[in-house]
Structure 1
Amino acid sequence: MRSIISVIIAGMLMTSAASAQTLETRVSGLEYPWSLAFLPDGRMLVTEKPGRLRIVDETGLVATPVGGVPDVLWSGQGGLLDVALSPGFETDHLVYLSWSGGSVDDNTLYLGRGRLQGGTLVDFEIVFEAMPHRRTDVHYGGRIAMIPAEADAPPSLLIGIGDGFDYREEAQNPDTHFGTFVHLLLDGQPVQRTFEQAAPGVISIGHRNPQAVVHDAVNRVIYSHEHGPRGGDEINILEASSNYGWPITSHGIDYTGALVTPFEAYAGMAEPLHVWVPSIAPSGMALYQGEMFPEWHGDLLVAALIPGDAGVPSGHVRRVDLDDGDVVGEEILFGEVGARIRDVRVGPDGAVWLLTDEADGRLIRVSRD
């Protein structure tokens, strides 16, 4: 049923009226930026894949990168990836980073944290290491979602981990971290074991290359998305103990044109909320709950690296229109940027912020005219 809905929606794509928003480049000269986070004092943190964490203030890009950042493996799709603030940042000042580390022949995804003091991360420590290591430099995942404390649970986090490309069959094996989401306490200890003999923290399996995870605290829903092969990019509702199918199920085909699998669905495996064929290579994602664009309230904003069926020259953003949890339409936004969009975030004032994935990367603010 979901795949039928996706086909119907493909005929409902809308392109936004350019007059509805103002796009302003606030910073340029970022080298392959990957993620951003908003500090309580109005500044921003931005990761650059070669291994730099940058501060953006009201004057622009601070010249000196943040100190204390771990060494990264900048190769292929790896490097310094996500940045997220602790739910208690205003008192603990903890900044979390994900990155690929090691050598080309022996590397993995790491998660670590340090206290931001001035322009340095102090007491930085690794709190999680995906196991086993791999010999590839692609399909790391790495996106983080913080989950604030609730009445019945302490604060925690989720991180998505890719299948390493050459290890796709391991995405069906909960004994490894390949192709999984992991649920951790803020100190890196696993929250729960949802599969027998699972690797620490694994709560879901069957993922290919997760690129975003978003916590909807109001509705207590977690959305994730991931790259398919050639076609078959997915949005999923993430639930503990679920198997999302890869590589047994997929709506895409291999890059060679061969079938990865004959199955788009399979008994006992979760079906996606939404599928893109052709691929749009989704990257960042945000749940819009601001006041600047009230017509977008409750919708997902999905950054895309490539056009897909959008009719734009490069990347863009898809507004995925949600109605009571169902996808009822899409709108193509910001195709005029003319670049791969690596991340999309909603600022404290409801403005939307974009990062472009390029050697001279840009930080763009989108506001209401």
Structure 2
Amino acid sequence: MLKRQFSDSKGYAIGAMRRTLMSASILLLATLTTTFGLAAQFPAVKIEPVVTDLESPWGLTQLPDSSWLITEKNGKIVHINALQERTEHDNLPADIFVPGQGGLLDIELHPQFDRNQFVYISYAAGDVEANRLTIARAKFSNNRFDDWQVIFAVSPDKDTPVHYAGRLLFAPDGALLITSGDGFDYREHAQRKDSMLGKVLRISDWGEALSDNPFYTGDGGAQDFIYTLGHRNPQGLVVDSVSQTIYLNEHGPAGGDEINRLSPGTNYGWPVVTDGKDYSGANISPFSDYPNMTLPLVNWTPSIAPSSMVLYRGDLFPQLNGDFLVTALKTQRLHWVRVVGNEILIDHPVVDSLQARLRDIHVGNDGAVYILTNGENASLLKMTPQ
């Protein structure tokens, strides 16, 4: 910004003018603070453990009876009942590929779980030379899983054990959405409609392409399954229960982490448009925008490494109604984000006692916020008003 220097023999007049301008600036700042919500305070909370000694957990979901299912990377699902007693289940698909960022990833209940007891998981399958994100489902009843069936696999195979993404979400229309990463060394695939890498995919609850998908042709190719494209490694996927809008967050490289508001057929730019740089420091793209590519709703540069998020709708924290709570790995914080329209009103880390690598987050049946920490000896934490 250019600065202009002024001098005047009548210093008193200049000083008075500066004081007037300063007062006006303070008034304007106060107005902006009120208008844009910067003065809002995150509620005082208490954090208490629900369960500890989890081994590299990744995803969680809550059953209608308020018990929990938690995935562990190495191939276990832990069931935590109302008495906080745990049962470990390892009778899962045999082809789970654990190295790198692989292993067992997300877990999601069928919208009609009360009727059909279907549970869905995402996981890395294959081996070092050929691996892929895979979706399977089984019935869970009487505290046991039965009849695992693979219903979908991302193609093409890749030889990198990273950037699987793997988040699952049943959309309001009953379709299953899957975030698929770009495989790191395959980032150009994020722009290709003949590849499922770097996409959000949309399938039926049995793994079929849906004829109302935006690029559907009926020939069974990758384009039949694509909902959105131009993603890097998206790991947060939520639907607003009020507006029915779907949001996604994703890892950029060194910077360029994003929240995006999803709409079918939209291209979100990676790797043509990004605010991030390569880990070497080199530029990935010269473009800050590009025709027919949508810029993010929220951008984090430097990176926070967002791992999951919720859009809070509940009675326990009315002051957070409609806000995002984002778990982050790199900053080891919970981030509070408020967006109205396209304006970011609040975006900052909160809850000092939650300084840990945070993997997943869920709003429980009781309206409390449940947070899954990352790594060995991890915990499921419950956040309630103080």
The normalised TM-score by structure 1 is 0.89
Select the structure that is richer in strand.
1
- The equivalent of 2:156 in structure 1 is 132
Alpha-carbon shift at residue 14 of structure 1 (Å): 8.3
Alignment partner of 1:353 is 2:370: yes
The change in CA–CA distance for 1:323 and 1:193 in structure 2 (over 3 A counts) is closer
Summarize the Cα distance change of 1:138–1:367 in structure 2 as closer, same or farther, 3 Å threshold: same
Out of 100, 115, 123, the position equivalent to 2:139 is 115
How far apart, in 2, do the equivalents of 1:58 and 1:66 lie? 21
User: Match for residue 181 of structure 1?
Assistant: 200
Sort the Cα spacing of 1:257 and 1:66 in 2 relative to 1 into closer, same or farther, 3 A: same
Whole-Å Cα distance in 1 between the matches of residues 151 and 253 of structure 2? 31
Of 332, 339, 356, the residue aligned with 2:356 is 339
* Structure with more helix by fraction: 2
CA shift in 2, pair 1:97/1:241, >3 Å:
same
> In the TM superposition, what is the alpha-carbon distance from 1:325 to its structure 2 partner?
5.6
Q: Secondary structure at the match of 1:60?
A: coil
Aligned CA distance change for structure 1 residues 22 and 69 (closer, same or farther; 3 Å)? farther
1:278 maps to 2:278: no
- 1:31 is aligned to 55
Q: Equivalents in 1 of 2:38, 2:328: separation in Å?
A: 15
Q: Work out the CA distance in 2 between the residues paired with 1:361 and 1:224.
A: 25
CA root-mean-square deviation = 2.1
**TM-score when scaled to structure 2?**
0.86
How far residue 56 of structure 1 moved from its aligned partner, in angstroms, is 0.8
Residue 162 (str. 1) matches residue 186 (str. 2) = no
User: 2:287 and 2:249 mapped to 1: Cα distance?
Assistant: 19
Inter-partner Cα distance in structure 2 for 1:70 and 1:240: 34
Distance 2:41 2:103 in 1: 33
Conserved? CA contact 1:237–1:273, under 8 Å:
yes
Task: Please name the residue that 1:207 is paired with.
Answer: 231
What's the offset of the Cα at 1:263? Answer: 0.9
8 Å CA contact 2:38, 2:345 repeated in 1: no
Residue deviations 1:205-259 (CA, integer Å, cap 9, x gap): 1101111111124212110011101000010011111111111110010000000
Cα distance in 2, alignment partners of residues 227 and 340 from structure 1 = 15
**What 5-or-longer segments of structure 1 have no aligned partner?**
1-7, 150-154, 308-314
Q: Aligned to 1:56, which of 58, 75, 80? A: 80
Aligned to 2:171: 147
Q: Does 1:234 align with 2:297?
A: no
What's 1:250 paired with?
A: 274
Equivalent position of 2:385 in the other structure: 368
State the SS of the aligned residue for 2:189.
helix
Distance in structure 1 (CA, Å) of the matches to 2:38 and 2:335: 9
CA distance in 2, matches of 1:351, 1:194: 36
Residue matched to 2:328:
304
Q: Distance in 2 between matches of 1:97 and 1:70?
A: 13
Contact 2:76 2:92 in 1 (8 A): no
Residue 24 (structure 1) shift: 0.3
Question: What are the ranges of 5 or more consecutive residues in structure 2 without an aligned counterpart?
Answer: 1-31
Moved over 4 A (4+): 11-17
How many residues are paired up? Answer: 348
Aligned equivalent of 1:317: 334
Shift in Å, 1:344: 1.1
CA distance in 1, matches of 2:327, 2:37: 19
CA distance in 2, matches of 1:21, 1:330: 18
Find the residue that maps to 1:336 and give its secondary structure.
helix
